[in-house]
Every structure is written in C-alpha cells, then in structure tokens.
Amino acid sequence: MSHGRFEIWVKAMRAVIGCSVLAVAPAGLSEGNPPEVRQMLERALQDTEKFRKQLSSSEYDATMFIQEWDGRGRLRGTAKATALMRPGDAHPVTFLSREIHGKVRLPDEKNRAKEDEKDTTLQEFSREHNIPERFEWSVGATEEISGEPARRVQFTPREHQPEKNTADRFLDSISGTAWVTEEKNRLVKFEMRLTRPFQLFWIFAVLKEFSLEYELISPGEILGHAKLKVLFALTTPVYSIRQQHDIDMDHFRPRKTTLAANLPDATGIARPQGN
C-alpha cells in the first residue's frame, strides 16, 4: 500500500480547512436564516480562507498518539511522538521524540516532492461543487466553545446530487456539525463523519469508516492551541486496517527560512523559533 495512509495526520489540518467550507458555504443563500447569521457565516469563510493561506508559511508543534488495529479488531500497536510540523514544505515533519510499540508506523519525515495541486480558494471550492445546494443546512443554538459563544451549524447531504468527480462523491457521503463564534466569526469546533462506505480512487480499496473531530482550545495569533482526532478504517482484498490519530497542535508561528534553527541540539532539546 502507498505510504499515504500513514500521512493522514499530516494532511488532517488541510481536511479541517477544506471541510470547514461546508459550515459557511450557505451564507447568502440560506434565506431561512436571519441576516446576521448569514453575515456571520460569510465572515467565517473569509477568516478560514485567510488561515488556509497562512498555514502554508507557518510551522507548529504537534504531540500525537496513534493506534492501529487489524481487520479483526485486534490492536496491532501504538505510537507516541512529538514533532515540528511545516505544512506544504518539502520536509513537512521533523520528529523530536518517538516511541513505538508493536506494528504501527509514524509518517515518513523524508523529503518529498511538492504535491501538484491546484491552489483553490474555499470560495472557489464552494462554487465548483455547488456546496449550498448539495447539503441540507440547520443553524442551531449558541453554545460556549473555547470560552466564547458559538453558533452551531449542521449539514447533511441531499439526495440525487450530480457527481462529476471523486470530490463530489465524497461530499455526498459525509455529514457533520461546525461551531462558529459570534464575535470573531472563527471556526472553533468541527465534527464530520462518513455516512456510508466510500470507494477510493484506487481499485478495490474501500473507506468503510472515517470521522474527524477538531476543537480550538485557546485562540492565538495564527491559530492557537487545538486538538484533532482522525479515525479511519480501510479495506482491500489483501488487508484491512483501522487507525486513530489523536493530535495536539500548539505554538503556531511564521515559518523560518531554514530548518536547522528548529532541530534538536546536542542535548536533544529542540530550539523552536517564534512565539
């Protein structure tokens, strides 16, 4: 199998950002919502797009715990690690510590060629995949998240939507809930799950289970302190695997031009730069 499945937690932040457009895409088209709610969602979309752009030139500290099970539900192994993360960089992961028990693998930290992906804004993504019409939307009550009042927005896929590509098929297979703060219009919590098995782009591989949970614990200049949980179960004719990634992310800061300043010194202690 491709090494990609072991990099899911590296890409998890991109998933949060990309999927968060679901929470804010109906702005301006949801006539049943009060004008202040539609304006809140529009501003939240702008704030999330701003963060998406900042992420490509940022770095942060991550502490992770990974568990892996086989097709029969037996635990194969666990892994604990701390790392310096540099999203989109040729060297995206620098491990500062790691501890592995059993048969489980951490993401590869070797240099890789930059992925050939179109830089699509969240607004463009929403228009391309017709997000406002693809989902049923429900704006709920206000709840306190990260010490701030936040509005709850739920979304579920509508039936019989056109599926032109893999992204459309995936969108029609998920549902979720997002929380957006009323004062700063920031996405502070997000939950998403797969509602039915999803066949991946490679033949015979089926994603049988997928869920993503994100919560901002305390805000910061770029993001702040946040937690992320990603759970997935994948089956092929050859093997089955189930993994859960619990990730604590903190100290988001502008990326330095050189990686050497952030590597551990002779004592094994990292020297992160920035905040």
Q: Report CA torsion sign: 234, 239, 244, 248.
A: negative
86 or 118: which leads in pLDDT: 86
261 or 219: which leads in pLDDT: 219
User: Which residue reads 């049943």 in tokens?
Assistant: 32
| pLDDT reported for residue 133 | 78
10 Å Cβ neighbour count for 142? 13
CB 68 within 8 A of CB 243: yes
Task: Supply the mean pLDDT for the chain.
Answer: 77
| pLDDT reported for residue 25 | 53
Residue pLDDT, tens place only, 88-109: 788 888 999 999 999 887 777 6
Confidence check: pLDDT of 5 > 50: no
| pLDDT reported for residue 250 | 95
| Element containing residue 69 per DSSP (H, E) | strand 58-70
pTM: 0.77
pLDDT category of residue 83 using cuts at 50, 70 and 90: very high
Residue pLDDT, tens place only, 16-66: 445 555 555 554 444 555 566 566 667 777 777 777 777 888 999 999 999
* Identity at 269, one-letter amino acid code: I
Confidence check: pLDDT of 76 > 90: yes
Rounded to an integer, the average pLDDT of 225-232 is: 93
Confidence check: pLDDT of 215 > 90: yes
What is the number of H-type helices and E-type strands within the chain?
5, 11
pLDDT category of residue 189 using cuts at 50, 70 and 90: very high
DSSP three-state, residue 17: helix
| pLDDT reported for residue 38 | 61
133 or 143: which leads in pLDDT: 143
Query: Is residue 102 left, alpha or beta, with left meaning phi > 0 and alpha meaning psi from -120 to 50?
Result: left
Which of 5-14, 137-146, 167-176 is the least confident region?
Answer: 5-14
187 or 3: which leads in pLDDT: 187
Confidence check: pLDDT of 3 > 60: no
* Identity at 121, one-letter amino acid code: T
Confidence check: pLDDT of 75 > 60: yes
Q: How far is CA 72 from CA 68, 75, 87, 235, in A?
A: 11, 9, 34, 11
For residues 65 and 106, what is the distance between their CA atoms, to the nearest angstrom? 10
Q: What is the residue extent of each domain of the chain?
A: 3-105+122-261
- 236 burial level (CB within 10 Å; 0-12, 13-18, 19+): middle
For residues 11 and 7, what is the distance between their CA atoms, to the nearest angstrom? 7
